Every structure is written in C-alpha cells, then in structure tokens.
Amino acid sequence: MRKYFLLPIIFLAACASMLPNIEDQHPTGYSILVRIAPECTNIDIDNHGACLASAKILESKSPQDATLLFLAHWEESIFSSMERTQSAGEDWIDARTLSGAAVRNYEAKAMNKIAIPVLKAAYENANNKYARRMTRQADVIEPLSRSSFDTFREVHTRLFPNAP
C-alpha cells in the first residue's frame, strides 16, 4: 500500500525534471526575473508556467507587448482548461474537474506571487501614460475571475491606440 502512495510523488518529480529550462530559452528575461521573483530560481511544476510567462514579459519591447503576453498566459493557464471542460459537456464533478480546479488554484497563486509583480515591474520600467494606467488595473487583478480578465483586457484595448 505504501508504494502506491509514492508513485504520484515520483511521477511529479519526473515531470518537473522534464520542464524546459527557462534560463536557456529567455536568458535576458530570466536574469531580471530572479531578482523580482526569487522563487523562480527553484522552478517546479507549480510555478513553471508563471516563471516562463514572466521571463517572456520581461523581454518584451513595450508595456503593450507585456500586457498581451500576460493576457495570453492568464487566459491559457486559468480559463482554457475550464472552457475545454465545458465545451466537452463535462458538467459533473469528477476527478478530472477536481484536479483541474487544483491546477487553476496553483496557477492563480503563481500569478499573484510571480506574474503580476513582474508585469507591474515592466510597467514601472516603461513609465508612460499607458503603463501608469495599466499599473492601477494590475493592482485589482483577481486571477480566477473572468470579469477581472475581461476588464483588464478592455482597459488595455481602450488605451492601446493612445499609447505613446
């Protein structure tokens, strides 16, 4: 019985070791990232997505590009699995739904701890009207809220054409 308890732990450890190396893919962004979010020096299965997206955000050329990368990460990590589940007609609660909810919760925690502070740092570095306005929006992000996502995207869309 005890050996079956260890199988998921061994599996997760093996999966974590197979994650792509962020430092190799985004060396510039990663070097800045570890100063902002030191937990990205020890990447595991719970924070890999947020660390990877954050390294990309830090390599973006403008705050608008940073916002687009952040929105893509937010939508993929939090909402895409819920939408796939709903479109597949899986209304009942089963093991897949519960594990999907657990993954979304881990992703939301990682967004709060890593991706949102990195996005704010990218805005702070830009220091223009667009970045200042989006910083205020980033302060009120609720990762698990679809309306928070829609509001953040809407503000970005309204400000994008007026950006310097």
In the chain, the amino acid numbered 29 is G
Whole-angstrom distance, CA of residue 143 vs CA of residue 75: 9
Residue of 36, 42, 79 lying closest to 54 (CA atoms): 36
pLDDT digits (tens, 9 = 90+) for 141-158: 999 999 999 999 999 999
Domain boundaries, given as residue ranges, for the chain: 20-162
Could you tell me which of 143, 134, 130, 115 has the C-alpha nearest to residue 58? 115
Q: What is the pLDDT of residues 72-114, one digit of tens each?
A: 999 998 988 555 444 444 444 444 444 667 778 889 999 999 9
| Cβ contact 153:71 at 8 Å | yes
